[in-house]
Amino acid sequence: MSLVPRWEVMTDEAKAITKRIAVSALLVLLALWLVRALIPWVIVAICGYWAYRWLAKST
């Protein structure tokens, strides 16, 4: 059983568009996952930089 109903009767162009949309959606989800994983590290890096500047300025 196909994931997409009537896949066999779809035109080649419609199949190509469907595949392109699926790949694009997967890439967007992968990018969102990657950004979500990196945000805490960015926050830590920014806080560390601010702390370094603050400590360097006060000495």
pTM of the complete model: 0.61
Q: Which domain holds residue 15?
A: 7-58
Say which residue the tokens 């196909």 belong to.
2
Number of domains in the chain: 1
Give the N- to C-terminal CA distance of the chain in Å, as an integer.
71
Q: What proportion of the chain, given as a percentage, has pLDDT over 70?
A: 90
Q: What are phi and psi of 11, to 5 degrees?
A: -70, 160
What is the percent of the chain where pLDDT is above 90?
76
In a domain, 25, yes or no: yes
Give a yes or no: residue 39 inside a domain: yes
If you ran DSSP here, which 8-state letter would residue 5 be given? T
Is 23 domain-assigned? yes
3-state class of 19 per DSSP?
Answer: helix
pLDDT tier, 16 (very low <50, low <70, confident <90, very high otherwise): very high
